[in-house]
Chains A and B, each alone.
Chain A
Amino acid sequence: MTLAEFLRPFDFEFFRNGLIVATLAGALCGLVGTFVVLRGMSYIGHGLSHAIFGGFAASALLGVNLFLGAGLWGFASALMIGSVTRRRAIGSDAAIGVITTASFAIGLALLKVFGSAGKNPDSYLFGNVLGVDRQQVGLVLLVTIVAGLVVFFAYRPLLFATFDPDVADVSGVPTARIDALLMLLLAATILTTMNVLGVMLVAATLVIPPVVARMLTNSFSRMLLMSTAIGAASGFIGMVASYHLDIPSGPMIVLVGTAAFAAVFAATGVKGLRNTRGLDAA
């Protein structure tokens, strides 16, 4: 392959938009995913993306703004999961399993009975990164900037509430508000990246970059930066590879992340894996 052939997709605006949005989505998922993974809530990304699909169907049916309707639905689901888990009524995995799959089922049932009112549900299930327009690029950029600012300015309370919520609470950190803020960020992240990666794959982009970063470092701040960079690189490389290998972009982005995991595992071995212990302890 010549350089000209390699660079050919960059001539197309739809590809450039897709490349930008995939890179931003990867960075955003890597940033927010760090907190998700360290809180032992990896499954929530999977669950919440399914829950938001229910919101998408309900919004399409009611004719309300898709992002607003699905976003509120997702945020409400996230708060419900957080509340049930916090009260220790049932485990977080069980709460996520019940609440989000029920929401996903509602979405499928609504689409079957009432149709999708002109919206294409497949693009939310499997992603449609090449179909994004500048408005959607702007939306992902906006959410990425907001998430970056929130993490920058609330860094220490976020860290304390993630590491040791009980002591953080006693020390004056408003842990309930911090949790709600994080859930809001997570819902916004999933909502805006669903169009890029699809419901089925967005969870992987929330989990793989932070896990790879955790294998590489014992520092929280470095893990945040690395995870964001790995997510962004997976999005960028995945998009380019998807064009040249003629593989759908969502799966390709996830496969690039998985390749990064395999490479880091090969390089760090048991030591890297040892760092990831406890990431699934909800």
Chain B
Amino acid sequence: MTSRPTHASVADLVRLDRVTCRYGAEPVLVNVDVSVAPGAFVGVVGPSGSGKTTLLRAVLGTVTPIAGRVERRPGSTVGYVPQIETVDWNFPVTVGQCVLMARRRSRILPWASAEEKRDVAEVLEALGIAELQDRHIRELSGGQQQRVFLARALIGRPDLLVLDEPTSGVDVRTRHEVLHLLRDLNHEGIGILLTTHDLNGIAAHLPEIVCLNREVIAAGAPRDVLSPEVLERTYGARMEVLEHGGMPVVVDEWKAPATGTEGRVVSMKRARR
């Protein structure tokens, strides 16, 4: 069962107010407060099963909280980009057909009008994949696939873009491409809320993060939020936070196996510097 978020008169694009969700008896989110202001760029990090996707579903209105409220700014529109791993890439659609699906229908006929074709071409052009319009979606690289689904979300001209693990399953170069693309879209005024496992990627690119493990552990700028204590509470494992070029860099803490020379790789690297 799903319910749409209420449209209260809020300044934020979306606001979760003490939201609790559960699947069966198990709570997935507990008293979560998260808000996304117009033009904000927020990343949600946390381990698998921490409730990241449920949080997005609550924002999208496809999961009903058992307590708390989800409020969305009246008249605001949301574009959603699912995890690319969940997409059936063998489905018989071309890039153009895929993007057209999400455009509000201007007529009931199955084929696209000239206006609809122009809108599809424009959004593909804006994302630099105009030449891929007639390609089958299976014939794309990871970065191109992500762009196609961004294009599908953008054709509805959203105020808020919601992305589930946009950097998952792609190589380092594609991850940079995607995050830079999102930053550019954000600079154009689109609010962005995404989930990711990629701590360092978002520490470098996003101005605001939320550390989630069923409840919000910490929220704010990466420099303020990313500390060993917060990361241990979020992930249940010790991590170290270094600084590189003014940005926090998170590394796993590692202990040598029982040789009597127990030490930390991070410390060794530090020592070499």
Contacts and interface: CB of A to CB of B under 8 A. Distances in A.
Interface of A: 38, 152-153, 155-156, 159-160, 163-164, 166-172, 214, 217-223, 274-275, 277-279, 281
Contacts of A156: 100-101, 105, 110
A267 B102 CA distance: 35
Interface stretch (B85-93, B185-193, B208-216): B85-93
A167 B91 CA distance: 15
A223 B97 CA distance: 14
21 contacts: A153-B110, A155-B110, A156-B100, A159-B101, A164-B87, A164-B101, A166-B82, A167-B82, A167-B152, A168-B101, A169-B62, A171-B102, A218-B92, A218-B136, A219-B97, A220-B97, A223-B92, A275-B92, A278-B90, A279-B90, A281-B88
A160 B94 contact: no
Given A166-B82, A170-B78, A171-B156, A160 B2 contact: no
A160 to B, nearest CB: 4
Secondary structure at the B interface, as helix, strand, loop or mixed, is: loop
Nearest to A160: B101
Contact of A278 (B61, B88, B101, B156): B88
Contact of B91 (A168, A222, A278): A278
A222 B110 CA distance: 13
A163 B91 contact: yes
Nearest to A40: B88
Contact of A219 (B80, B82, B92): B92
Given A160-B101, A167-B102, A221-B110, A277 B92 contact: no
Interface residues of B, number: 29
Q: Which 8 A-B pairs have the closest CB atoms?
A: A155-B110, A278-B90, A218-B136, A160-B101, A170-B80, A220-B92, A170-B60, A171-B102
Contacts of B97: 159, 219-220
Nearest to B98: A163
A218 B92 CA distance: 4
B91 A38 contact: yes
B14 to A, nearest CB: 13
Nearest to B80: A170
B268 interface: no
Contacts of B87: 164
A214 B60 contact: no
A50 B90 CA distance: 30
B172 interface: no
A88 to B, nearest CB: 9
B108 interface: yes
B1 to A, nearest CB: 9
B92 A152 contact: no
A278 B93 CA distance: 14
Contacts of B60: 170
B112 to A, nearest CB: 9
Nearest to A278: B90
Contact of A167 (B80, B93, B100): B80
Contacts of B92: 38, 214, 217-220, 222-223, 275
B101 A170 contact: no
Residue of A156, A169, A220, A281 most packed against chain B (CB within 10 A): A156
